[in-house]
Amino acid sequence: MSFSYLKKKFKKKKKPKEVEPEPAEVQQVVVEDPEKKKEEEELLTQVMTRINEIENDIPRIKVSIDTIKSQINELREEIERLDKTIKDVMILYEVVSQQINPFKDVDSENPLVAEIQELRGEIERLKEEISQIKADLRLIIIDGIDLDELIYETISEGGI
């Protein structure tokens, strides 16, 4: 925005003399006073200066806002990590305190302990299966069995 544009925009317009005001309207008398005009120009200059300052501050404010947003996201992620860590520690505490606590009723089953036992059993089953696969691969490599022929025979016999 230029100073001349604002000057034109805020310039007082003279009313045409042909239109007669209604009795309820208040007439404004336009007086061309040089001091008043000078005050208006000074006020307009101050407004333009302030507008320029604000326009110059906007990019810095945007950068600050973006920085703050990224910091907020980082804090949110850190809080989520801390929350997960606290949950893990609480689960570990429950497991340890249940195994050591002499006042614990042994007959009552805790779902965490049952789940841990299931996971242990699953891990053992997977270990056995992996060792069996390793043994089978060793036999195939040592005996030099043709895998393509073995697959063809299995498919043709209806094994799969």
Lowest mean pLDDT among 52-61, 76-85, 95-104: 95-104
Indicate the helix (H) or strand (E) that contains 119.
Answer: helix 111-143
The SS3 call for residue 105 is coil
Tell me which DSSP letter residue 127 carries: H
* Whether this model's pTM surpasses 0.95: no
Mean pLDDT over 45-58 rounds to 93
Both structure tokens of 4? 């001349």
The predicted pLDDT at position 26 comes to 43
Both structure tokens of 37? 């005009």
